[in-house]
Structure 1
Amino acid sequence: MTAFSGIRVLDLSRVLAGPFCGQMLADFGADVIKVEDVGGDENRKWAPVIDGQSANFLSVNRGKRGLTLNLKSAAGQEILAGLVRKADVVIDSFLPAVAERLGVGDARLRALRPDLVHATVSGYGHEGPLAGKPGYDLMLQAFSGMMAMTGEPDGGPVRAGASFIDMATGLLAFSGIASALYARQAGKAGGQHIRVSLLETAVALLGYHVPAYTLGGKVPPRDGSGVWHIVPYQAFATRDGHVLAGATNDAVWQRLCAAIGADQLAADSTLATAALRIANRDRVIAALAAIFATATTAAWVDVLEAANVPCAPVNTLAETLAHPQVAAMRMVLEVARRDGGSMPLVGVPLNLSATPAAPGGAPPRLGEHTDIILRNELGFEAARIAALREEGTI
């Protein structure tokens, strides 16, 4: 038994955040119908395209059924209404004006299904001067201040390598939907409109940087691989790569120095406390860099782990995915393809002991399940489905 078995979801969202939320619901047993315009989610076209399918689309759409639908047509609106009446959850990522124009505003959806759980994902939020502005992950990395604090001290702002604001927003939408479904089942509420945005996610992810500024006036500088308030705590070049090493308190600083043979640093009273190491950052980093350059990454990891010093190799993506710990946590799954083969996709980052995830098959081809959904869910005959296709509704 999975947590959301029996729950029906219409996923009208596109790109990453909303679809990732829908995929998580599907992973935990919900019947998720991916509703796309006849031209498809723009995410299907983003590089790299492998065997005719975008890696971007594949990453957030497994376990769903695929339906194409022209929401600008009267027939498309009729089909949408029929599906909404049978749905527990609707996910969309339309701007407010577009949602109203396409008939997926909350008031209209709630008129069709009063106890509906409706989740809307936006770029900048549902109110305020930028409520009508579209947003993508990289735009919010820039807008939120994250890019300004990311990069080398003498360089320009840098993008984080992964679209983590998008993905975190999807997880927040998932948790909001789970909360709303619980409240509905417990009789605490009927339907609810859940609204999440990339902006709210990004500001929340700023975490301790917010009070550091609001209470202490500290604007975080660009510190490369390190952080300004803990020294050392960054990546150092080794003989064959890089190792991350840190001294998160004064006792760890002493263990770090002893482990790498830096007796002079350990005995230096001007570096004995966290505040003093911050004040003498350049001197500390230069001394450690010279030492770490003398051996391999693997050798340093062994030494530092033995001394209980925070550390990690700076892995490539290939090294991460090949690591036995990633395998042990089942974070790369072989997902069944339609042709009988399989494809490795990212696993489920949430573990439930009694109702674990049961990831479904490969993401749907564009409109792959349109006919069967219209036939089984709405009772359409073959002739009507053919006519809808001819007129461009599906």
Structure 2
Amino acid sequence: MMQTKITIIGAGAAGLFCAGLLGQKGYDVTVVDNGKKTGRKILMSGGGKCNFTNLNIESVNYLSQNPHFCKSALKRFTQWDFIQLVNQYHIAYHEKDHGQLFCDNSAQDIVDMLVNECQKGSVKFKLQTQVENIESYNQQFKLHTSQGVIESDKVIVATGGLSMPALGMTSIGYKIAEKFAIPVVPVKAGLVPFTLHKPLLDVLSTLSGIAIPVEVSNTKMSFKENLLFTHRGLSGPAILQISSYWQAGEPIIINLLPDWSFAVQFQPLLENNRKQTLKNCLGQILPKRLVDVLIQLNIIPDLPVKQLNSKQQQALYQALSQWCITPNGTEGYRTAEVTLGGVSTDALSSKTMQAKTQPNLYFIGEVVDVSGWLGGYNFQWAWSSAFACAEAIDL
């Protein structure tokens, strides 16, 4: 039997960061993970470059049944605090669109930094170790694992969600919550590509690989970013973002002319190209293959521009700016960037991340019902929630 003051379940972003902070406070910390190595999802993120935070972090960038819950942690450990740590390790990084920060070299730089912080605090690791059961007695815990029993004064659950199951993600975090009667908000895949119904898929799959700037919206939100056509359906940043706000059976609206108004740009384009076919005219502003498909789908007519009167021009503009598609579904956890839902924020303290009804049990990171937008927001939640937890623990 192993004894430790603090056990952290999960060696991902939140777990590693929290372990380093607690270890450097002088606590005896053990991190348990079912994988062969630490930070597996970090290494996969951002195309291997790790979009580790965003310059523009606000609570409105997060989904939760309690949209105010994340405010406390995000305020106490900000993106600037994490950037300062990255700078201390001389990790080179760059800014992309919308304030996203990526490593210049590799996501391995972030993992190495977090592991180094753990080493400073003499954190112990038990990898390739499955948590099979957890019991509580006298406000302490006994963890039954595939490598034996661990007795611990405090347990921090940082197990992530169900996204990317190929990396070994499991539902153990939710099972631990349910074991202690802590409610879990139903989970589903977020930041995930859409699949399409046939025969629309058969037509649009011919556009696979084409990316275009669009504005995608539903009744709740809209995002102006790129859309990518794939052989399975629709992807790209705009689609991933709206997917987190999408409900099954609901249509989405795609604006193929996100920065165009009818009077200022679109009507003059038509008037200046009256001798052309509509196909060739629109081919100046949209991929020609896409124009062909829109004609095939009867979304736009195959006519000379001069045959369109003012009312028809307006209708054409509406068709291109309000293309309505009802997805078949999503690609699910296999390709999802994040898991929506999770351990209910009503059951946790927003200041400490401790369960209200189970002393010495904490939940941090993606396992909690706080999910960020695409662009570094979920990593920042991992850092901020881990900091809030570590700062609150006093043995």
**TM-score of the pair, normalised by structure 2:** 0.28
The structure whose RCO (Cα within 8 Å, separation 6+) is larger is 2
TM-score under structure 1 length normalisation: 0.28
**Which structure carries more helix by proportion?**
1
Higher-strand-fraction structure:
2
